[in-house]
């Protein structure tokens, strides 16, 4: 294989990875934008989405359904369940702590993350489970066939569509406007009649839904899941969110792609042993030298 082809393969691998990171990062960034909380349990929501998909696909598969029908049923169910979990987590672990000092919801979020991980561990299994490939297979033209696979194409296109949908939702709908208002100033939004509780719940629901889509896509692509995948994916997606500037929706998308490429090129050209170290090192460097991220604005602390 030529050097150019190797480069392109890594490039598209990074793009695929990056789109998934971006999908999960959106959940972090939206929640952070609205209530200034790092939702540590978000990675777990992504993992639960993937697990629900695995279970539903397994049941439907045993009923002898065809592949496309399984995908069409599995994805919405996984999205609904992940959203329901996101919604419930907010109600239990974060809502009672709205007026508490900042450290309290953060610790509560870490607790929730550990709780959900072990909930899956106990109720399901600690082993890696093989995940059926739900993504449609199609033949690619010859000149790209060696470089990228059909599931990579599906992932990138799906992610792009979802992100375009989210952007227009935030930009053009009434609810999107309410979300932006709450992010700017919660109390003022309340004064002009925005139902802040509802907006926060909706933010968690949308973020969780995106994470579930990401979970189903990547689990199909990689082919196995276990209860721990949410932890690493969560930290990486958070890195992506911070990289782009936390609180900024386009920033999360850009950050996801930058992180995906960084990882792909670092593992492709340097060493694969330290795959996770590159992500963490990037996070640390970004936070030290540009804490506001690529697209974020540095805000001064008000008294």
Residue 284 interacting with other proteins (CB under 8 A): yes
Contact (CB, 8 A) for 207 and 31: yes
CB of 108 to other proteins, least distance (A): 4
Cα 286 off chain centre by: 20
CA–CA separation, 235 vs 278, rounded Å? 12
Residue 92 interacting with other proteins (CB under 8 A): yes
Judged by CB under 8 A, which of 69, 72, 76, 119 binds other proteins? 119
Residues 6+ apart with CB under 8 A from 59: none
CA–CA separation, 200 vs 207, rounded Å? 11
Contact (CB, 8 A) for 203 and 179: yes
CB of 210 to other proteins, least distance (A): 19
Residue 301 interacting with other proteins (CB under 8 A): yes
CB of 295 to other proteins, least distance (A): 17
Contact (CB, 8 A) for 243 and 259: yes
Give me 223's structure tokens.
């082919």
Give me 201's structure tokens.
């719940």
Residue corresponding to tokens 């999107």: 176
Judged by CB under 8 A, which of 100, 144, 161, 164 binds other proteins? 100
Give whole-number Cα distances, 105 to 9, 35, 241, in Å.
Answer: 42, 10, 19
CB of 165 to other proteins, least distance (A): 26
* Binding segment toward other proteins, per CB under 8 A, in 1-9, 97-105, 144-152, 210-218: 97-105
Q: Which is nearer to other proteins, 15 or 151 (CB)?
A: 151
Contact (CB, 8 A) for 221 and 152: yes
Give the interface size with other proteins as a residue count (CB under 8 A).
Answer: 70
Show contacts with other proteins in window 18-57 (CB under 8 A): 36-38, 48, 51-52, 54-56
Q: Which is nearer to other proteins, 146 or 291 (CB)?
A: 291
CB of 30 to other proteins, least distance (A): 16
Residue 222 interacting with other proteins (CB under 8 A): no
Judged by CB under 8 A, which of 1, 3, 62, 193 binds other proteins? 62
129 has which bridge partners?
225
Q: Which among 87, 102, 123 has a CA at the least distance from the CA of 38?
A: 102
State the residues that interact with other proteins by CB under 8 A.
36-38, 48, 51-52, 54-56, 58-59, 61-62, 81, 84-85, 88, 92-93, 96-97, 99-108, 110-125, 129-132, 231, 235, 238-239, 242, 273-274, 276-277, 280-281, 283-284, 287-288, 291, 301-303
């Amino acid at each position: 294989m030529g050097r150019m082809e190797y480069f392109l393969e890594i490039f598209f691998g990074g793009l695929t990875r990056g789109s998934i990171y971006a999908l999960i990062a959106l959940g972090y960034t939206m929640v952070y934008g609205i209530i200034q909380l790092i939702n540590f349990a978000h990675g777990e929501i992504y993992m639960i989405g993937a697990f629900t998909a695995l279970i539903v696909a397994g049941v439907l598969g045993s009923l002898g359904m065809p592949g496309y029908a399984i995908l069409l049923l599995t994805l919405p169910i996984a999205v609904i369940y992940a959203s329901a979990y996101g919604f419930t987590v907010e109600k239990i672990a974060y809502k009672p702590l709205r007026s508490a000092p900042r450290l309290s919801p953060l610790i509560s979020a870490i607790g929730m993350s550990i709780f959900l991980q072990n909930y899956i561990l106990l109720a399901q299994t600690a082993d890696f489970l093989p995940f059926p490939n739900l993504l449609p297979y199609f033949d690619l033209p010859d000149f790209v066939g060696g470089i990228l696979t059909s599931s990579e194409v599906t992932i990138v296109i799906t992610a792009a569509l979802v992100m375009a949908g989210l952007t227009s939702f935030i930009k053009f709908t009434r609810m999107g406007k309410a979300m932006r208002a709450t992010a700017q100033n919660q109390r003022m939004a309340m004064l002009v009649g925005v139902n802040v509780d509802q907006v926060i719940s909706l933010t968690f629901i949308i973020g969780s839904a995106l994470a579930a889509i990401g979970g189903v896509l990547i689990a199909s692509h990689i082919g196995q899941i276990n209860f721990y995948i949410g932890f690493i994916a969560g930290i990486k997606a958070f890195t992506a969110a911070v990289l782009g500037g936390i609180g900024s929706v386009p920033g999360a998308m850009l950050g996801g792609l930058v992180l995906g490429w960084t990882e792909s090129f670092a593992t492709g050209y340097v060493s694969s042993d330290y795959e996770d170290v590159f992500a963490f090192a990037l996070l640390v460097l970004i936070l030290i030298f540009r804490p506001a991220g690529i697209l974020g604005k540095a805000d001064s602390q008000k008294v």
